Structure 1
């Protein structure tokens, strides 16, 4: 009896895997102008960890949205944080100062008059 037309052959999962790898390679070339070998090299140079938090695995390509230049490979959280800060160094510095407790500490200079740090 002939096999049903829609039944997948035993090699279907193999071909699906190959197609996924080709799609991944094409995505990095199209989006960032890098090959998967170059991406693997960058991850290796970072010892497989995120450049910012030095804790989580490096899995997401970070790039400058203005120039398109690839800066490195980050973890999901750090890459998302840079995106939320819109890659603005001044905002990132203020956020760091805020987290360190240096920004929002008003000083009482007179009764009812507070001075904020500059």
Structure 2
């Protein structure tokens, strides 16, 4: 096996092998893939939503580092999705001015299923607070 090219560049003399079909050891391969994913995500967010990586990070920090709706997901396992108003821009990209926040994938799908209707959220909250089946059950008991 060939030695890792990043180890050689850093002056590491342990001669760590590069077992994958690439020129890097496991440690440097992991770091390289993580940096590559971060770059690709930043490029995707900028091309699709017209916001740069710094603004994306600022939005997440303004939300306390969590999903704006459920406040549970923090983006460590899967990055938080950019939520935007679909009625603002035509086409597959956004102008950047209609970005509403960062949501986990479950909440993002939920907002989409509710078709961005605020009244649907109000009805959902009322449903959870006062379930209609409970009123029927209490009457029959």
Name the TM-score, length of structure 2 as normaliser: 0.59
Partner-residue secondary structure (3-state), 2:71: coil
Match of 1:95 among 121, 124, 128: 124
Q: Is 1:29–2:46 an aligned residue pair? A: yes
Q: Which consecutive residues of structure 2, in runs of 5 or more, have no partner in the other structure?
A: 3-19, 89-93, 137-141
Matching of residues 1-118 of structure 1 within 5 Å: 7-10=21-24, 13=29, 15-57=32-74, 59-67=80-88, 68=94, 69-101=98-130
Separation in structure 2 between the aligned mates of residue 10 and residue 87 of structure 1, nearest angstrom: 46
Separation in structure 1 between the aligned mates of residue 112 and residue 72 of structure 2, nearest angstrom: 19
Please tell me the root mean square deviation across aligned C-alpha atoms, in Å: 2.8
Cα shift readout 1:26-81 (whole Å, capped 9, x = no counterpart):
10001111111111111111111222223332522111111141101122322221
| 4+ residue segments displaced more than 6 Å | none
Report the number of matched residues.
102
Higher relative contact order (CA 8 A, sep 6+): 2
Structure (1/2) with the larger helix percentage: 2
Separation in structure 2 between the aligned mates of residue 17 and residue 56 of structure 1, nearest angstrom: 20
Separation in structure 2 between the aligned mates of residue 64 and residue 98 of structure 1, nearest angstrom: 25
On the 8 A contact 1:60/1:79 being kept in 2, the answer is yes
Partner-residue secondary structure (3-state), 1:73: strand
